Amino acid sequence: VMITAEEAASAPGLPGRTEPVWPWKGAPVHALVQRIHQLQAERAQAFRRLEEAHRQYVRSGPHYDFPRYRGSVHKVTQAFAAASREVLALEAELAGPRAQPLLAGHVRALQQLEQTRLATVSSKSQGTPTLFQAPIPSLSALPLWVIKTMEAISKVLQDLRFDAESVE
């Protein structure tokens, strides 16, 4: 589950939660962009874990091990939520104190594309098989527009890196 900017902004004020200390406060813009790329690598790894969990789930048929699969999906969702919170914080840093609206716009677009990709993959892979319907055999069998979303993510990351180089 990806979170919105409003949810991220309101999260630190929840009772019992402390404000996180972000190691990039005061760091140069290129360090922020590098962290965004690291978070994207973590997201890619999470997608690979989700795909592997889905393969194991499909192989567990005909008595599908849905509880185990649901647990794997939950872990991946938590990883995405953590990455999402940090990406939103980095976007806010770029848009606000760093006064880098172009870079912040790239990060916002990246977050929206990732939200689309996660929602699509999750909806395709979380279906519980029925007597008449088997789960899809592989997440790689996703529609072309998911592939196009992944290509758009790569382009946004490339634009972010290029535009960040001109800042410093």
**Residue 98 — pLDDT band, cuts 50, 70, 90?**
confident
Mean pLDDT of the chain, nearest integer: 77
Segment 146-168 mean pLDDT: 88
Please state the domain extents for the chain. 28-167
From residue 35, alpha-carbon distances to 27, 156, 157 in Å are: 11, 15, 12
pLDDT, tens digit (0-9, with 9 covering 90-100), for 16-59: 445 556 677 778 888 999 999 999 999 989 888 888 888 888 88
CA–CA gap between residue 68 and residue 113 (Å, rounded): 28
Report which residue type is found at 35.
R
Overall average pLDDT of the 125-149 stretch: 54
pTM: 0.71
Q: Is 131:108 a contact under the CB 8 Å cutoff? A: no
More confident residue, 8 or 150: 150
Q: Please say if the pLDDT value at position 133 is more than 60.
A: no
Confidence of residue 127 (pLDDT cuts 50, 70, 90): low
